[in-house]
Chains A and B, each alone.
Chain A
Amino acid sequence: MGKTFKTIDDAVIRFAGDSGDGMQLTGGRFTETTASIGNDLSTLPDFPAEIRAPAGSLAGVSAFQIHFSSKDIHTPGDDPDVLVAMNPAALKVHQKEITPGGTIIINTDSFTKKNLNFAGYDSNPVEDGTLDDYFTVIPIEMNKLVTAACEGIELSPKFVIRTKNFFALGVLYYMYDRPLEATEKWLEKKFAGKDVIIEANKKAMYAGYNYADTTELFTTRFKVEKAVLPEGTYRNINGNHATSLGLLAASEKSGLKLFFGGYPITPASDILHTLAAWKHFGVQTFQAEDEIAGICSIIGASFTGNLAVTSTSGPGIALKGEAMGLAVMTELPMVIINVQRGGPSTGLPTKTEQSDLNQALYGRNGEAPLPVVAAATPGDCFYAAYEASRIALKYMTPVVLLTDGYLANGSEPWKIPDVDNLDPIDVEFIQGVKDGEEFMPYKRDEETLSRPWAIPGVPGLEHRIGGLEKAENTGHVSYDPDNHHRMVELRQEKVNRIQNDIAETEVFGEENGDVLILSWGGTFGSCRSAVETLHEHKKSVSHVHIRWISPLPKDLGEIIIKFKNVLVPEINMGQFIKLIRSEYLVDAKGLNQVNGKPISASKIVETVNEMIG
């Protein structure tokens, strides 16, 4: 119909509406379709904190952003090119972030006086012209159109109107030239047995697609070609799912039963849900009475020879602190996962932050060093969880795994690993001691300083452990001052030795130059994107991403000194940077933001440009 196709490298679209409008589901469908046609992608769901905020309120706005591309991308994108606003509140919340010149698709049927007032608009922005100067506004009467499309289907008007998200999805499928079949199949599976629901949603989706095709509102369609990804088999994955799979893989490779003890908390609960469904893998999940019981149960399970795991978020980690100290003292292997969210206190439960690093490193009484590893991307959560398990078992130590709300719920295409190629995890339970010999529960392995794992049920190894200081070797309670000093040193030295297991640090870009961007955790994508952009502008900038924060890699000091400036972007007020400054006596600069969102690549580019002019 006279529409032109424009090929573009990438696009960022955001679906926003009321919690009840099904925006997460819509985004999820768009993502699966986009993944299956071979684009690289990255997503960022943005949930409201309230489960049932009043309909139409600003607090109840739920959004889902997807960035997809024919190139290798690392972030869910900064500002959206297209915003789908299902109601005035969604427009109000997201309007200021749309790329100038971007497109806003609006469901005008929800722009009633009441909803406008609720969102704080004095006049209707669709009609008063305030948006037209900056954006292309596409008003659509979605409620009316789905009602017409679903005529003849025996479904109450209330349910018919609920299909409007599939109408919007159809519009976007048209705009970006995506096939509808995968979504049709999904509807058939999801609503099997509820034929009217399937039919209504299909009709709504086709109505949206056709509406976009026939009206003059859309003049251009966009093509985003397949991305050239490395060879392999791919799936789309989010961080919490990847974390769960990583733990399960470690269980299979080590031959240990996986025991998970935890307490529900946003945004970590999905790990509990996922693992709970894997009983046929022998996984045992224990929903404890509180966070403390969660970690205590895994301490018991670890003592008894399981691969023991707990997961939580900030407030939960605060509660687990004392038990983590016990785990340090008793030198038992376990993985403690913190899916970080906005703090302090209850903070921003559904928003992302990197502000629990200090808590992970130092949040215990006494000298209680722990290894801390952080995942970089949603798919990397798999490897980080696997690595955390492997190190915990090899060194007989609790390990903290840090992910965050953005990684946990964000998704990306992920090359499926071959389990056979993962690093082996060899576990040995001590089987006994020679006749006449006394069992030494705190006698250490020379290389790793790990102590033997003696599980109940083995004759001759009956022994007692606990939170009181241990005598070296015998593990008896000891108040001897010199022994205490020695044991404090040994526990630290054991963590330090993990350096021998950490791969050489990779420098992205030149080995020396004007600026080194040093990142950890979920800021990987933004930093990598920023450095790629800066390279296009011939800037002398490199990127190092740190996986193990405790212990830090051996070679980091030598890398850092080769750069004139060091920039550390973090979603906190500067926690990693303090460690870097104190460890390496370097005048690093921070880029800190705590607004519940990932740091944008453009902000990093801007900061670097300011630094080096």
Chain B
Amino acid sequence: MSDVNTPTYTKKDFESDQSVRWCPGCGDYGILAQTQKTMPTFGRKKEDFVFVSGIGCSSRFPYYMNAYGFHTIHGRAPAVASGVKIANPDLSVWVVTGDGDGLSIGGNHFMHALRRNMDLNILLFNNRIYGLTKGQYSPTSEVGKVTKATPYGSLDIPLNPPSLALGAQATFVARTIDRWQAHLSQMLERSYHHDGGSLIEIYQNCNIFNDNAFEEYTSADKFDNVIEVKHGEPMVFSKGTKGIKLEGFKATVVDMEKHSLDDLLVHDETNLDLAHIIANWTSHPVLPEPIGVIYSVDKPTYNSEMVSQVDSAIKAKGPGKVQDLLNAGDIWTVK
């Protein structure tokens, strides 16, 4: 897939001529800019990128990327993208979706695309609200969310996207935040280089309908509540003052004044059990919000296995000719 004539692009090359129409101040702007900035670093020809989206604010994304783009219908982007990837496995296929699009109406496709390990890069913009339809609660909204649709507070328990993805047998699960630009860029890069289905959940601020939903993870003075997990590194957070210890399956927060780094849990992104434990820290009352690559392993992808099935069938039987197939079986001639 790497090309001898690796093109040199700048951010501008990935900007389309369409004017961007998100609300001023929306977190989507930052994600778009960072994506356009990161793409040139991949050294991949821009005609090989396909961005497929569903419906929602985030799903406008493909219009703004100067690449091939498909703004499909609500929830179905992973299914359309799967067709693209199978039809041409040499393309770099990206799915842009949101918490409503990807987890509510499109939950089924989201889960199955990951299960198959279809080599898609799924960017899930999670703002914990329905933006495009003007502010109803979403499948990631916290219990008791007061919206126009839930004046007495929502009753639903929210989904935890990384847990869901792990349960669906995903091979790459990461989380980042719109305002963590450098980290976002790293995650995009990791996803791009992961051969297989990947999920990046991006906490994205909807300043119109759910402002400051992620305030506690983005404001510097509250860094207590967030941990950046890194492969092979001990779990420290809160500017090095706190750490996480694992006793059995139970994670506890410890004070680093009383503990050394050797006492701490060390992240291993290839350990599925650990990934489940870390994913469960999401919106936890005591444990910090995990950000970073939670899980990453290599497994055969659907698309490459499909190619090898076709190849080996051709090898075994020779390339088929329709006329031979038509004439196969019991035939007789009338003269």
Contact = CB atoms under 8 A, between A and B. Distances in A.
A binds B: yes
Interface of A: 32, 35-36, 38, 182, 229-236, 245, 248-249, 252, 257, 259, 261, 278-284, 286, 288-290, 292-293, 296-306, 308, 322-323, 325-326, 330, 416-419, 455-468, 476-477
A574 B194 CA distance: 56
Contact of B79 (A35, A292, A458): A292
A68 to B, nearest CB: 14
A458 B70 contact: no
A456 B84 contact: yes
Contacts of B84: 300-301, 303-304, 456
Contacts of B318: 280
Contacts of B335: 231
B87 A288 contact: no
Contacts of A259: 83, 86-87
B331 A416 contact: yes
Contact of A457 (B90, B322, B330): B90
Across the A-B interface, give the 7 residue pairs with the lowest CB-CB distance, nearest first: A300-B83, A466-B71, A296-B79, A464-B69, A279-B313, A297-B83, A304-B87
Interface stretch (B40-48, B178-186, B209-217, B278-286): B40-48
A290 B108 CA distance: 8
Contacts of B69: 462-466
B72 A257 contact: no
A281 B70 contact: no
Given A234-B332, A245-B325, A293-B112, A284 B86 contact: yes
Contacts of B314: 279-280, 282
A296 B106 CA distance: 12
18 contacts: A234-B333, A235-B331, A279-B309, A280-B314, A288-B112, A293-B78, A293-B79, A296-B109, A303-B84, A304-B84, A304-B91, A305-B87, A323-B73, A326-B73, A456-B88, A459-B47, A462-B69, A463-B68
Given A288-B79, A296-B76, 19 more contacts: A236-B330, A245-B325, A248-B322, A252-B321, A261-B83, A284-B306, A286-B83, A288-B112, A289-B111, A293-B76, A300-B70, A300-B79, A301-B86, A326-B72, A416-B331, A456-B84, A457-B48, A464-B70, A466-B70
A261 B73 CA distance: 17
A296 B83 contact: yes
Contacts of A288: 79, 82, 112
B123 interface: no
B323 A298 contact: no
Contacts of A477: 18, 63
B71 A465 contact: yes
Interface string B291-335: 000000000000000100110011011111111011101111111
A322 B319 CA distance: 37
A464 B63 CA distance: 6
What does DSSP make chain A's interface, helix, strand, loop or mixed?
mixed
A45 B55 CA distance: 45
The winner among A278, A299, A458, A460 for most chain B CB atoms within 10 A is A299
Contacts of A284: 86-87, 306, 310
A278 B314 CA distance: 10
A458 B310 contact: no
B84 to A, nearest CB: 4
B298 to A, nearest CB: 23
Contacts of A418: 323
Given A304-B83, A456-B91, A233 B76 contact: no
Nearest to B315: A280
B66 interface: yes
Contacts of A325: 73
A461 B317 CA distance: 37
A1 B98 CA distance: 82
Contact of B72 (A304, A462, A467): A467
Contact of A323 (B55, B76, B85, B330): B76
Contacts of B49: 456
Given A281-B320, A466-B70, A457 B334 contact: no
A293 B326 contact: no
A462 B326 contact: no
B326 A245 contact: yes
Contact of B73 (A36, A281, A467): A467
Contacts of A323: 73, 76
Contacts of B76: 292-293, 296, 323
A280 B316 contact: yes
B251 interface: no
B33 interface: no
A299 B83 contact: yes
Interface in B72-106: 72-73, 76, 78-88, 90-91
A229 B326 CA distance: 19
Nearest to A467: B73
A252 B323 CA distance: 10
A455 B333 CA distance: 44
B16 interface: yes
A288 to B, nearest CB: 7
Interface string B232-260: 00000000000000000000000000000
B52 interface: yes
B45 A459 contact: yes
Contact of A297 (B18, B82, B334): B82
Contacts of A416: 326-327, 331
B62 interface: yes
Contact of A233 (B112, B319, B331): B331
A299 B83 CA distance: 7
Given A234-B331, A467-B71, A296 B80 contact: yes
A300 B82 contact: yes
B46 A462 contact: yes
A474 to B, nearest CB: 10
Nearest to A422: B322
Contact of A300 (B81, B323, B329): B81
B53 to A, nearest CB: 8
B274 interface: no
A180 to B, nearest CB: 15
B66 A280 contact: no
A152 B109 CA distance: 58
A250 to B, nearest CB: 9
A323 B48 CA distance: 25
A261 B322 CA distance: 21
A462 B86 contact: no
A286 B333 contact: no
Contact of A232 (B71, B310, B319, B334): B334
Contacts of A326: 72-73
B18 A476 contact: yes
B165 interface: no
Nearest to B69: A464
A456 B80 contact: no
B326 A297 contact: no
Contacts of A322: 73
Contacts of B313: 279-280
B26 interface: no
B329 A462 contact: no
A464 B83 contact: no
A304 to B, nearest CB: 4
Nearest to B316: A280
A419 B72 contact: no
B188 interface: no
B330 to A, nearest CB: 6
